[in-house]
Structure 1
Amino acid sequence: MGALLDQKYEKLFALLDANGDGVIAEDDFELMGSRVLAAFGEERTAPKGKEYADAMTTYWRALRETADADGDGRIDKGEFRQALRQVSDQFDVLIGPLYRAGFHLADRDDDGLVGREDFVTVISAVGVPEAEAAAAFDRLTEQGEQLSKDQLMTAATQYYCDEDPANTASHLLFGAL
C-alpha cells in the first residue's frame, strides 16, 4: 500500500472509531449511525433511516469478517490496514450501499442532488470538521452546484482505492489528510 492510501486509511480509521477508544467495534458504527440520523432528524424506523442503518450494519459486518483477525469483535489499526484493501476491492457490494444510503438521506427532496448544506451536515456528523466538509463539497462540485450520486460514488471509490495524487477532490472527501 502506498503512502497516500495509508494516509486516507488512517483518517478513515479515526472517523470510524467514533467513540475514540482506539479500536473500531460495532458500537462505533451504532454511534456514528445515530449521529448521522439525528443530524437529519430521521428515525431508524423510517425508510431512509432504516436504509442507512442497514447499510451501516452491512459495512460493519464486512469489515469485522475481513479484519477481526483475533475474533474479539474489535478492529485495531493493524487489523484495519491489512483488511481494508480487501474490503475496498468489493466496494460496490460492501461499502457502496452505505454511501448510496447516506446520499439518499441527505437528498431531502429526492431530486437526485445534494446541496452544500446537507453534504456538510452528513460529513460533519461522521466527524469531519464543518470547514473541511464544506471545502470537500466545493472540490467535488463546481462551487455553488449540487452534488450528484455519481459524483459522490466516484469520489468515495477513489478515496478507498486510488493513489493518484491528481485526484485531490476525492482524497479530501473526509477532510484534510
Structure 2
Amino acid sequence: MSAVLDQKYEKLFALLDANGDGVIAEDDFTLMAERVLVAFGEERAAGKGKKYADEMMNYWHALRDRADTDGDGRIDGDEFRRAVRQASDDFDTLIGPLYEAGFHLADRDDDGLVSREEFVAVEQAIGVPADEAGATFDLLTEQGGSLTLDRLMAAATQYYRNEDPAHTERHLLFGAL
C-alpha cells in the first residue's frame, strides 16, 4: 500500500474511532450517526435519518466482516488498514451507499445540491475541523457553487482508491492529511 493511502486510512480510522478509544466498534458508528443526525435535526426512526443510520450500520457490518480477524467485535488500526483496501474494491455496494445517504441527509431542500454550510455541518459532525471542511468543499466545488452527488461520489471513490501523491485534491475529503 502506498504512503498516501496509509495516510488517508489513518485519517479515516481516527474519524471512525468516534469515541477515541483507539479501536473501531459498533458504538463508534452509532455515536457518529447520532452526531450527524443531531446536526441536521433528524430522527433515527424515519426518512433521511433512518436511511443514514441504516447505511452507517451497513458500513460497520461490512467493515467488521472484513476486518475483525480475531472476532472480538473491535477493529484495531492494523486490522483496519488491511481490510479497508479490500472494502474499497467494493466501494459501490459497501461504502458508496453511506455517502449517498449522507448527501441526501445534507441536501435539506432536496434540490440535488449540497451547500457549503450543509457540507461543513456533516464534516464537523464526524470530527473534521470546520476550516478544513470548508477548504475541502471549496476544492470539490472549485470555489463556489454547490456540491452534486456525482462530484461527492467521485471524490469519495478517489479518497479510498487513489494512491497518486501528485493529485492532492483527491486526498482531502476529510480535511488535511
TM-score exceeds 0.5: yes
After superposing on structure 2, the runs of 4+ consecutive aligned residues of structure 1 that deviate more than 3 Å are none
In structure 1, distance between residues paired with 2:100 and 2:11: 21
Q: Is the Cα contact below 8 Å between 1:64 and 1:75 reproduced in 2?
A: yes
Residue ranges of structure 1 left out of the alignment (5+ in a row) = none
Alignment partner, residue 66 of structure 2: 66
Task: State the alpha-carbon separation in 2 of the partners of residues 170 and 121 from structure 1.
Answer: 21
SS, match of residue 157 in structure 2 = helix
Q: Which residue of 2 aligns with 1:148?
A: 148
Q: How does 1:3-22 map to 2 (within 5 A)?
A: 3-22=3-22
Counterpart of 1:112, as a letter, is: G
TM-score of the superposed pair, with normalisation by structure 2: 0.98
Match of 2:49 in 1: 49
Deviation digits for residues 18-53 of structure 1 (CA, Å, limit 9, x no counterpart): 000000000000000000000000001121001000
Percent identity between the two aligned chains: 74
Mapping for residues 110-121 of structure 1, pairs under 5 Å? 110-121=110-121
How many angstroms apart in 2 are the aligned matches of 1:8 and 1:49? Answer: 27
Output the CA distance in 2 between the equivalents of 1:154 and 1:167. Answer: 14
The 2-side partners of 1:146 and 1:153 are apart by: 14
CA shift, 1:170, in A, is 2.6
SS at match of 2:72: coil
Q: How far apart, CA to CA, are the structure 2 residues paired with 1:11 and 1:142?
A: 23
Structure 2 residues without counterparts, runs of 5 or longer = none
- Separation in 2 of the partners of 1:46 and 1:165? 41
Question: Offset at 1:6?
Answer: 0.3
Question: Residue 107 of structure 2 aligns with which residue?
Answer: 107
Report the Cα offset of residue 142 of structure 1.
2.0
* TM-score of the pair, normalised by structure 1: 0.98
Q: Is the 8 A contact 1:103 1:114 kept in 2?
A: yes
d(CA) in 1 for partners of 2:165, 2:47: 38
How big is each residue's C-alpha offset from its partner over 1:85-126, in whole Å with a ceiling of 9 and x where there is no partner? Answer: 111100000000000000000000101000000000001100
CA deviations on 1:114-161 (whole Å, 9 max, x unpaired) are 000000000110000000000000000121210000000000000001
Matched, 1:97 2:92: no
Partner amino acid, structure 2, of 1:46: A
Distance 2:169 2:45 in 1: 34
CA distance in 2, matches of 1:86, 1:163: 14
Three-state SS of the structure 1 residue aligned to 2:69 is: coil
